[in-house]
Structure 1
Amino acid sequence: MATARDRTTVPFLLLFFATTLCAAAVAASREDHGGREPSLRQCVRRCEEDRPRYQRAQCVQECREREQQEQGRHERDRSGEGPGDEREHEEGGRRPYVFDRRSFRRIVRSEQGSVKALPPFHEASKLLRGIRNYRVVVLEANPRSFIVPSHTDAHCICYVAQGEGVVTTIENGERRSYTIREGYIFVAPAGAVTYLANTDGRRKLVIAKILHTISETGKFQFFFGPGGKNPESVLSSFSKSVQRAAFKTSSDRLERLFGRQDKGIIVRATEEQIRELRRHASEGSHGPHWPLPPFGESHGPYKLLEQQPRIANQHGQLYEADARRFPDLTDHDVRVSLVNITAGSMSAPFYNTRSIKIAYVLEGEGHAEIVCPHLAHGSESEHSHGGGRSERGKGWRREEESEEEEDKGQQREQEEAGQGYQTILARLSRGTAFVVPVGHPVVEVASRDSNLQILCFEVRAEKNEKVYLAGANNVLKQLDDTAKALAFAASAREVDEVLDAQRGQGFLPGPDESGGQEREQEDEHEGRHGRREVVAETLLRMATGGL
C-alpha cells in the first residue's frame, strides 16, 4: 500500500524526468543547429538597441547574411557534406560565372564602414582563368567618415554607386583632390597614396571597384600610412633605429605618431573636418597644371551619368566610358559602362568579341541568361534554365552509329564546335556579381517591379565590339540572301521576316511584356510560325556555333 510520502515522490520524479528530457531536447536542438548564435530576431533587436539609426539597416543585413550562412552550414552538416563537398557542389552546380552577396569576404570592418571583396576568380572556376588578375571590391563608408591614407599594389578603377564625397590621390609628387558623387568614375593607380571622405551627412558612400593586381596573381595588399587598429602603419614595421634615423625623432614620439591606435581604418570625422576636406577639393586637379592639364591628360573623375547615353529608348539606357572619353583608362584597357533596364524590359542578346565582362548589380532585381558551350559537355544542372537546355540531344550522336564507332569518335565529336550549349540562369539582385566570358551570348532581364541597374567592367576593351543578335542592329541582317538561304532551313525572305520583326535596338520589351503579342501572332499565323521557330533557332545556333 503506497504511503503519503510515496504519493508525493512519484509526481516529483515524473516532473524531474520531464524537465530533464526537455533540457536534453533543447541541447540536442542547439547541437543540431551547429551551436548557432542567438536567433535572427535577437540579432535584429540588438541592432535596433545598440546601433545608431544610420547603421541599423546595414546591421540587420549582416544579421540576415549570418543566419543564411548558418542555415547553409547546418544543412551541409546534416547531409554529411564538408567544405570540399560544398566547393564540388558549386562547381557541379554549373554556375561558375555567378556570385551572390554571400560570396564576398569582408577584409576591412569597423563601426564606420567596411571593405569586402570577391575571392580570386580562378579559385572559383578554371573557366575564369582569363581574369585571374582582377578582383571585385566594394567599399561602404558611413556618413561623415574618413578612410585613412593608404596605397595598394594594384590599379583601382572605381565607380561611385551611391552618395558623395572627396577623394585625394598623391602621385608623382602631385596631390590631386576631387569631389565625387553618384555616377562618377575615377582611377587610383597602383602605389598612389589615396584617401577618401564621405561628406554626406545622411547617406552611405558606396564605391564599387575593379582591382587589376600586378604583384601576385589575384592577390592585393593595402599598405596603411598612419597608425590604425588593424593593421598597423607600415612605417612602424621598420626597426626603431631606422625610424629614428629616418625622422630624426625619438622612439617615444614616433610610437605615438605611427604606432597602433584605436582609430581604425575607417574613422569618424567632425563636421569641421569634413568642411575643410570639401574646401580643398574641387571638380578638377590641384596639380601644377591646374586648371589646364596637358593635352590628352585627364583632369578629374569622369561624370558618366552626365554624358549622352550610347543607346537609349523606353526600355533602357547604356552609358559607356572608354579610353577615348576618359584618358585615365588608357593604361588599363578597361571599359566601364552602366546599364539601366526599365522594369519588365530586357537587353537584346549580344556578345563581346574581345572583352570579358565583369558585372555588379547596383539596384533592382531580375535575371540574366548566359549561353555557355563549355558546360554543355558536363551533366545537366539544377541551376540551368529549363528553357535553355543543352542542345546536346539534337544531333550530338547518331543512333545509327555503332557503339564501337562512338567510342572511336567520341573525343573528336566533343571538340567540334556548335555541338551543344547550356544556358546559365543567374538570379540578379543588389550585390550580385556575374561574369560573361568572351563570345558568350548574354541577355539581362529586369523584373516587372523594378528597374535593373548593372555596373560593367569590360576587361581587354581595346578593339572590342559588342555584337547584337536581335533587334534593329542585328548582325545577322548583314548576311547576303544566298548565305541566308544556304544557312537556314527557310528562304531568305522568311529569314528577313524573322530578323525584321523586332524594331527595337539595344533594349527590348521583356518576355512578360511581349508575351501577349507573340501569342496573338501565333494564333494568327500558326502555320507559318512553326517555320519561324525553326529559323530563329537556326539563327541563334549559327551565331553561337563558332564560339
Structure 2
Amino acid sequence: MRNLVTFLLLVLVFSHALTMTMGYRDEDEDEDWKPEREWEREREREERGGEEEEDERSGRGEEKFLLQDAKRVVKTEAGDVRVITSVGGRIVDRPMHIGFVSMEPKSLFIPQYIDSNLILFVRRGEARVGCIYKDDLVEKTLKVGDVFRIPAGSVFYLVNTGEGQKLHIICSIDPSESLGLRAFQSFFIGGGSYPTSILAGFGHETLSNAFNVSSDEVEDILNRQQDGPIVYISDSHAPSMWSKFLQLKEQERLQHLKRMVEFQQEPQEQEQKTWSWRKLLNSVFGAEDRKDTRATRRSPDAYNIYKRRPDFKNNYGWSVALDGSDYKPLKHSGIGVYLVNLTAGSMMAPHVNPTATEYGVVLRGSGRIQIVYPNGSSALDAKVKEGDVFWVPRYFAFCQIASRTGSFEFFGFTTSARKNRPQFLVGASSLLRTLPNPELAASFGVSEDRIRNFTDAQSEAVILPTAAAAPPDKTDKYEKKIAAKFEKLPNMVRNFGNDMIMGFD
C-alpha cells in the first residue's frame, strides 16, 4: 500500500512538472515568430469562410518581411549611421543586420574596430578606407559599386574623398562573432569625451608610465576630441589631430594605429616595447619619423559589382551574384552579394533560394515583393520603394515585380558564400519544365497535354514580361477617373468629343 501511495505521488508530481513545462514553453513560443502559427490562423480563417483577418495577417507579414525599424546609432554634424537589426526566431537561419553610413564631404569615420564582420557597398560618392591587414596598414579607394570586406576585430577608418558629394554606404553586419551586447559593438581607438577611446579605461598613471609621458599630456590627449565618431577634416571644421593624422604617410599612420592597438590588447608587455607616447605625439603633431619604409603587404582589392558582366540578361532586366569563388573575402565571411535590375513592368520569376536567406535594399524605383508561406498562403504582398529593406527566409518562394513607372533596382546580401542556384518555379528554365509530365499532370489532376501547354506558354526565363501584374501608376488612376467622368456626360457631348478625337487621328 505504501508503495502504491508513493507511486501515485510521483505521478502527480511528474504531471504537475510537465504541465508547468508546457506552460513555460508556450509563453516562450509567443515571444518568437512561428510561421506554423500563421498557417493555423490561415486554416481557421478559411474554415470560417471570411476575410476579416486578411488585413491583420497582411500587416503581420509586412512587419516581419519588411525591415522598417532603423535605429540611428551615430549622429554628428559630419554624418550618421543607421542600423536595421535582424528579426529573431527559429526561421532565421543566420541573423544579419543592415547598416547605412552617411558622411558629409571631407569627413572621417574615426579609427575603430567592431565585433562583427562588415561587407561594405558604396552606393554614392567616393571613399578611402584604411585598415590593418596582417600587421600592415592598407588603404583602398572605393567608388560607386565597390564591395569591400572588413573582418571583425580589424582596425579601420573611412574618409569621404568625394568633392562636394555625400558618401552613402550600405553594409552587412554579421553578428556571428559579436559579443551579443547589441547589434554590434564599436571599440574606438581615437576619441576623447565623445566618443571615449578604449585607452581611457586605463589609469592615467598606467598610461603615463607605459608611454613615457606626463599625466597632463595623457589627460590632454584623451579629453580633446568631443565631436563624435564622424568628424570633419577640413580646415574650418576639423580638430587638428585628425587633419594631421590623415596628412601622415601610410606607414606612419600604421605605426600610430599599431601603437594604440597593441597597448590596449597587451598592456602587460608594453614596458618591453620600444614605442613611446612621445614618439606617437611626434608622429601625429610634430616631427615625422620616416625611417620605416617597409612595403605594405598585398591585400584583397575591392570588387566593383557594376563592372561585372551580368550572370543573366534579357530584354526585361539583368542580375549579378557574387560568391566566394568570385571574390575571395566573401568566402571568409560566408556572405554573398547580389544586384538585380528589372525594367518597367517586368518580374523576377517566382523562385526559391535553397541555400541562403536573402536580404535586399531597394536602390532605385519601386515595385512589389511577394512571399509565400510553405502552406501556399500569402506571407507578404507589399509595395516597396527606394530605401526600403526586405528579407526572404531560406526555402520560401518569392518574386519581385517592377512597377510600370520605371526600372526597379535592388541590392542585397545572402547568408551563404556558395553559389545560390535559385530554383525557378515559372518560365522556360523552371522546375515545372524539368519534372516529368505524367507525374506533374497527376499531381495537378489534369491531362498531360494540358499541363504541357500550361508550363510551355512562357517562352522567357528568369526575368519575365508582366505589365499586367505590375501595380498601376498614378497616371492610370487619373485616366480611369477621367474615363468614368467622360462616360457620365450626355450622349451628344460624348459623341462630339469622340468625333473630335477621330478628326485629330
TM > 0.5: yes
CA apart distance, 1:137? 0.9
CA apart distance, 1:251? 1.7
Instruction: Classify the secondary structure of the residue corresponding to 1:206.
Output: strand
In 2, Cα distance between equivalents of 1:477 and 1:511: 23
The aligned residue for residue 196 of structure 2 is: 232
Contact 1:356 1:459 in 2 (8 A): yes
The aligned residue for residue 338 of structure 1 is: 339
> What are the residue-to-residue correspondences of 1:435-514 with 2, within 5 Å?
435-462=391-418, 464-512=420-468
Q: If the length of structure 2 is used for normalisation, what is the TM-score?
A: 0.67
* Residues 99, 256 of structure 1: alpha-carbon distance in 2 compared, 3 angstrom cutoff: farther
Contact 1:356 1:437 in 2 (8 A): yes
The aligned residue for residue 164 of structure 2 is: 202
CA apart distance, 1:491? 2.1
In 2, Cα distance between equivalents of 1:231 and 1:121: 28
CA apart distance, 1:277? 7.1
CA apart distance, 1:275? 13
* Residues 267, 90 of structure 1: alpha-carbon distance in 2 compared, 3 angstrom cutoff: farther
CA apart distance, 1:495? 1.6
Kindly indicate whether residue 158 of structure 2 is the aligned counterpart of residue 164 of structure 1: no
> What are the residue-to-residue correspondences of 1:87-236 with 2, within 5 Å?
93-99=60-66, 101=68, 103-122=69-88, 126=89, 128-132=91-95, 134-213=96-175, 214-217=177-180, 219-228=183-192, 230-236=194-200
For structure 1, the 5+ residue unaligned runs are 1-88, 374-417, 517-547
Moved over 4 A (4+): 89-92, 271-281, 286-290, 513-516
Q: 1:252 aligns with which of 216, 225, 229?
A: 216
Contact 1:90 1:96 in 2 (8 A): no
In 1, Cα distance between equivalents of 2:349 and 2:294: 44
Contact 2:403 2:470 in 1 (8 A): no
Contact 2:136 2:296 in 1 (8 A): no
Q: Which amino acid aligns with 2:412?
A: C
CA apart distance, 1:278? 12
List per-residue Cα deviations over 1:236-287 (Å, max 9, x = no partner): 1211122112211112112222225233211112389699779969xxxx99
> What are the residue-to-residue correspondences of 1:253-402 with 2, within 5 Å?
253-270=217-234, 288=295, 293=298, 299-373=300-374
Contact 1:353 1:467 in 2 (8 A): yes
Kindly indicate whether residue 390 of structure 2 is the aligned counterpart of residue 434 of structure 1: yes
List per-residue Cα deviations over 1:352-392 (Å, max 9, x = no partner): 0010011111222111001123xxxxxxxxxxxxxxxxxxx
Contact 2:98 2:171 in 1 (8 A): yes
CA apart distance, 1:431? 1.7
In 1, Cα distance between equivalents of 2:248 and 2:408: 32
* Residues 439, 235 of structure 1: alpha-carbon distance in 2 compared, 3 angstrom cutoff: same
The aligned residue for residue 18 of structure 1 is: none
For structure 2, the 5+ residue unaligned runs are 1-55, 237-242, 252-292, 473-505
CA apart distance, 1:100? 5.3
Percent of pairs identical after alignment? 28
List per-residue Cα deviations over 1:54-77 (Å, max 9, x = no partner): xxxxxxxxxxxxxxxxxxxxxxxx
Query: How many residue pairs get matched?
Result: 368
Contact 2:193 2:222 in 1 (8 A): no
> What are the residue-to-residue correspondences of 1:503-542 with 2, within 5 Å?
503-512=459-468
The aligned residue for residue 46 of structure 2 is: none
Q: Which amino acid aligns with 2:65?
A: V
* Residues 428, 324 of structure 1: alpha-carbon distance in 2 compared, 3 angstrom cutoff: same
CA apart distance, 1:96? 4.1
Instruction: Classify the secondary structure of the residue corresponding to 1:331.
Output: helix
Instruction: Classify the secondary structure of the residue corresponding to 1:319.
Output: strand
Contact 1:144 1:274 in 2 (8 A): no
How well do the aligned residues superpose, as a CA RMSD in angstroms? 2.9
* Residues 164, 271 of structure 1: alpha-carbon distance in 2 compared, 3 angstrom cutoff: farther
Instruction: Classify the secondary structure of the residue corresponding to 1:261.
Output: coil
List per-residue Cα deviations over 1:424-453 (Å, max 9, x = no partner): 113211221111011111111112223222
List per-residue Cα deviations over 1:126-185 (Å, max 9, x = no partner): 2554333x2111101112211111100111111111111111111320111111111110
CA apart distance, 1:114? 0.4
In 2, Cα distance between equivalents of 1:458 and 1:131: 10
In 2, Cα distance between equivalents of 1:304 and 1:432: 21
CA apart distance, 1:339? 1.0
* Residues 330, 100 of structure 1: alpha-carbon distance in 2 compared, 3 angstrom cutoff: closer
Contact 1:179 1:278 in 2 (8 A): no
CA apart distance, 1:228? 4.5
Contact 1:351 1:442 in 2 (8 A): yes
List per-residue Cα deviations over 1:201-240 (Å, max 9, x = no partner): 2321111111111133463101111114532111112111
Q: If the length of structure 1 is used for normalisation, what is the TM-score?
A: 0.62
The aligned residue for residue 263 of structure 2 is: none
Contact 1:176 1:287 in 2 (8 A): no
Contact 2:67 2:84 in 1 (8 A): no
Q: Which amino acid aligns with 2:450?
A: E
Instruction: Classify the secondary structure of the residue corresponding to 2:333.
Output: coil
In 1, Cα distance between equivalents of 2:434 and 2:119: 36
Q: 1:241 aligns with which of 202, 205, 214?
A: 205
Q: Which amino acid aligns with 2:435?
A: L
Contact 1:236 1:259 in 2 (8 A): no
* Residues 262, 176 of structure 1: alpha-carbon distance in 2 compared, 3 angstrom cutoff: same
In 2, Cα distance between equivalents of 1:347 and 1:152: 36
The aligned residue for residue 425 of structure 1 is: 381
Contact 2:359 2:391 in 1 (8 A): yes
The aligned residue for residue 24 of structure 1 is: none
Instruction: Classify the secondary structure of the residue corresponding to 1:220.
Output: coil
Q: Which amino acid aligns with 1:245?
A: N
